[in-house]
Each structure stands twice: as C-alpha cells, then as structure tokens.
Amino acid sequence: MDSASLPEQIRPASIPDAEQDGSRDKLTIQDASPPSDNKHGLSLNVHVDSHASHEHTHHHAEIRARHRYTIRRPRALQFSYRSQVIHAGDERGLHETNSRSSISSHLPEDIAKERERLDLFIDLIWVGIIGNLSEVFSSLGFRAEDPNLGIAILVFTLVFLPSWRIWDAMREFLNNYYMDDMVQRAFTLWILLLSVFYGNQLAYLTKDIDEVKQWVISTYLVIFGAFWLIELAYSIFIKWLRKLVFFQTILRLPSIALWVTAIQLPGARAIGPVCGAIVWEYLCPIIMDSQVTARLTPIEVKKALDVHHFQSRMSNFFIIILGEGVLQLVKDGPLGLGLNGSTGVMIWILMIYYEFSFLYFNRDGSRKFVPAATKRGQKTLMWVFWHIPLFSSILTFASSVMFIIRHQPDAPYNSLTGQASAEKIPQDDLPLYLYRAVWTCATSLGVIMLSMTALALLDKSLDEPATLKINNRYIRLAGRIVYIIVIPCVPAAHNIDADLFLGIAAFMLLGVTVWEWNVGLDKGGALIEPLGLSHMMSRELKA
C-alpha cells in the first residue's frame, strides 16, 4: 500500500510541447529564384528529414512493451484533485517522460499501443453484439405476425442502453487503470466471456422474452458486479478510491433493486422497473459530478479522463456501428448474383454510410477547435448523451434498409432471416411493410443528422477571421438543418417507393457533404489545384 501522502504523490499534468514535433533535424531547401519569377505566384519550402537516408540504410527496430512484474500494484493513470487533473506517471510507476504517445495524453508509446490493440479486440466482440441488437429491432418491427414499430423501438431502446453501458464501463476501466498485468488480463477475459454470453442471449430475446430477460439481466448484473469488485480491490491500494467506491455503491443500490424486481415480474409489467433502473444508472454519473454532491460529500479526489483515449474509443464505437450496417450488405450475399435492382439500392445505402463517416469526423469544419470532450461538466456529458441517439438510430436505419434489400423482387433470400421473412409475409402485405421501413429510415436519418449537428456545435471553434472560405460555422452547417427538416417529410409524398427514397436521401446527403467540403476550404483555396505546384515540387527536389 502506498505510504506517501496524497500531496506528495500528485503533480500537475504537463502539457505536451507543440514544438516536439519539430525536434528532429531538418534541412530546408528553398527555391533560389525570386518568388516573382513563378507565374503562379506560389512559393514552396521543402523540408527534408536529415534522418531519411539513415532510416533506409538501417533496419527498423521496434520496442515491445516492457513487463517487469507479473502482478502490479494498482494505480490510477490520472485523477482529479481539487478540480485539477493529475497524471500519476505511466503504468510502471515512473515519472512522465517527454516522449509521449499520439494515442494517449500521458502513456508511453509502447504501453498505449498495447491498450489500443486490446481496445480493437474488444470492439471485434462488440461487432457481433451490435448485430444481435439490430436483429432485435428488425424481428419485432417487421415480423409477419402483429408487427409493431412502437414496441420494437421500446424494446430496442431498453436493450441498447444497458448494452452500451457494458462497453462504456470497459472503456472507463481501461482509461483509468490500464496496467497490463496478469490480474488485469484475467479480469478483462472474464468480462469478455460474460459479454459474449450476454450478446448470445440477445439473439433469443424475441422468441421467449421472459426467460431471456432473466438471463440478460442476470448477466448484466454479474458484469457490473465484477467491475465493482475490481474497484473495491483496487481501493485497497488507491486510498482516495475508497470514498468514491463507497458513495457509488450507495447510489447504485436502487438500480440493483429495480433490476432484481424486473427479473421477477412477467411480461410488460417488467418495463417499469427496467426503465427506472436505466434512468437511475444514467443519472448516477451526473449526480456524482454535480456541485451539490461536491458540497455535501468529502470527496476531494475523483476519477479523471484520459481525453485522447476517450475520444478515440467513442470514434471507434461509431465505426463499429457503421461497420455493422456495411457488414450486412455483404454477409450471406443479400444482393444476389450479378447486377440487379438490389445492386442499385446497395449503392445508395453505401453512399449514406460513407457520407455519414465524413460528416462525423468533419465536425463543424473548423481548422482549430477545442473538442467538447476535453471540457469538464455539462458539455462533456452532453457530448456523451448525443452519441446515444446517434448510435441507436444508425442501428435502426441499418435494420430497415436490410429489410428493404431482402424484399426486393430479385432478392435471393439466401440468408436465414430473409428466407424466413419471405415465407411468412404475405405478398399483398409487403408494400405496407416496405412503407413502414421507409418511414423508419427517414426518422432514423433525421435523428442521425440532428445528433451529428449537436455534437459538432458542442466543440469550440478557435479559427481566426478569414481562416476558411466561410468562417461562420452555422452557415457551414446549414445544409444539415435543411436535411433534418426535409428528409422526414419525403415519405409523405405520393408514389415514393423504397428505392426512390434511398436515392433521394443519398443525393441530399451528398449535397450536404459537397457543401461542407467546399465552404470549409482554406481562404484563398480553389476548386482545382494549380498545375504549376507539381512542377515546382519536382524542381525543388532536383535542386
């Protein structure tokens, strides 16, 4: 147990020096001719790394993450002491060095890479879990007997929110305590085993909801019980964590009671306790971070985020969600053999996924900005909150478009889901089902764009005037507002079938993307790069 007092352990987190990127020796080659001699009025400085020849003549060597101990003493990688974020050194217990990782704000490069690989493995498991979540919505919303989109959305929401908390709890654990010792590896494997079992139970949710509900909730409670136990064990070594674990335990007792009650209640009667448990669990972090709690509880030290890892993990989950939709376009060959009508539908759907990927990472188009995730308090909570409807709406959109593809006139129905649906749904009722799928797509697209716009506006732009072609970010995002308003209204028009709707949605989204790309160009930029620039580059390199 650490015997040093807290003030001796903490030190302010150093800010990475922006000049570190330019610390290498570089040779600057400039054009000998005056700038006026160039007909395009362009000047070019070529920076050649003096180590380039060295890298080509010697073998490239990498360093594996160092492991000196089988079991390490737990420590928090970072924490907040009296509202100041403290980085407590790397996982070896050493002081921070000047060589930092681009992946993490304070972990060494080798350790950060190890954590990144583990994150990737976790995401592979969640690809399957997300696929089952998507099938839950599709099975309830588009089943042949008594389809009900309202019930489908309700059940999907009640399943998605706890499922996302499992992923987020694993993200938070690795963010706070990653050490990569054998105890932590065993714990991680245990959580992953439970997660795989949890995801498998979701596949049977629509068949026998009462029995599956018991397994799902029980596994969920075991998973979070494991997180509670590991933090309780860590609190033996991390003194400030003891109070935090105590107050978190008290706060979570009501939700545990509600989950247990939901296990006992049959059918729709369990909806109330489940809703109450979910709402309370999502309120707990807000209560813990509130000013009222800070005044009423003697907690000076709290958990803090590794912001870079936090943003990276949220972005990764966004890619997983998009990947689930793209995977369904390929899995089991739903488009059929050769070119047909389903191929055209696939083009529109893939365009939509591709353009959403651009818009999410483009944010509000600012060149320099402060991400909302780096700010403490309400903005960070709102940033996390808007990801929830974003993720869930992408899944409902993916379920709806896959129903449309599987029920094209030339669909092969070589997937089990498509074959079962084709046999059960009467041909006379199919247009009504497709119309319902179109409305679901339209609503989902509107919510996706609304969530992305809110996330973009939460960032703080630091661009100076005249930095971009259009500096006003509200004008840059105006196309999204038009899309949010128009796209839910398109299905109301007469003679709009599924293929036409998806084509309209894709081309409208393409218009938004092209608009944001062009208005976000640097001031003085042009549509086409001048021809002389490549000639100048060749001349500089020859010199």
pLDDT of amino acid 251 = 94
pLDDT of amino acid 97 = 41
Each domain of the chain, given as residue ranges in start order, spans 1-16+24-139+152-304, 308-519
pLDDT of amino acid 89 = 52
Identity of the residue numbered 215 = W
Neighbour-count burial of 316, counting CB atoms closer than 10 A to its CB (0-12 exposed, 13-18 middle, 19+ buried): middle
Neighbour-count burial of 355, counting CB atoms closer than 10 A to its CB (0-12 exposed, 13-18 middle, 19+ buried): buried
- At residue 295's C-alpha, the angle toward residues 292 and 300, to 5°, is 120
From residue 434, alpha-carbon distances to 122, 144, 427 in Å are: 35, 12, 11
Residue 382 near residue 390, CB atoms below 8 Å: no
What is the Cα–Cα distance from 10 to 187, expressed in whole angstroms? 28
Residue 238 near residue 76, CB atoms below 8 Å: yes
Cα–Cα nearest to 398, from 494, 453, 320:
320
pLDDT of amino acid 90 = 45
Q: Whole-prediction pTM value?
A: 0.82
DSSP helix/strand/coil, 302: strand
- At residue 349's C-alpha, the angle toward residues 164 and 392, to 5°, is 15
pLDDT of amino acid 351 = 97
- Tokens for 172? 């938070």
CA 146 to chain centre: 34
pLDDT of amino acid 19 = 40
pLDDT of amino acid 79 = 86
HSE of 437 in the Cβ direction (CA atoms, 13 Å)? 27
Dihedral of alpha carbons 464, 466, 467, 469, sign? positive
**542, containing H or E segment:** helix 532-542
Q: Burial letters for 260-280: b for 16+ Cβ neighbours within 10 Å, e otherwise?
A: ebbbeeeeeebeebbbbbbeb
- Tokens for 77? 């990688």
One pLDDT digit (tens) per residue for the chain, 543 residues? 443 444 434 444 443 443 444 444 443 334 444 444 444 444 444 444 444 444 455 677 777 766 788 898 998 988 888 778 887 654 444 434 444 443 344 566 667 788 899 999 999 999 999 999 999 999 999 988 878 899 999 999 999 999 999 999 999 999 999 988 899 999 999 999 999 999 999 999 988 899 999 999 999 999 999 999 999 999 999 998 998 999 999 999 999 999 999 999 998 999 999 999 999 999 998 888 887 777 777 778 888 888 889 999 999 999 999 999 999 999 988 888 888 888 999 999 999 999 999 999 999 999 999 999 887 777 888 999 999 999 999 999 999 999 999 988 877 754 444 444 444 788 888 889 999 999 999 999 999 999 999 999 999 999 999 899 999 999 999 999 999 999 999 999 888 999 999 999 999 999 999 999 999 999 988 888 877 666 677 777 777
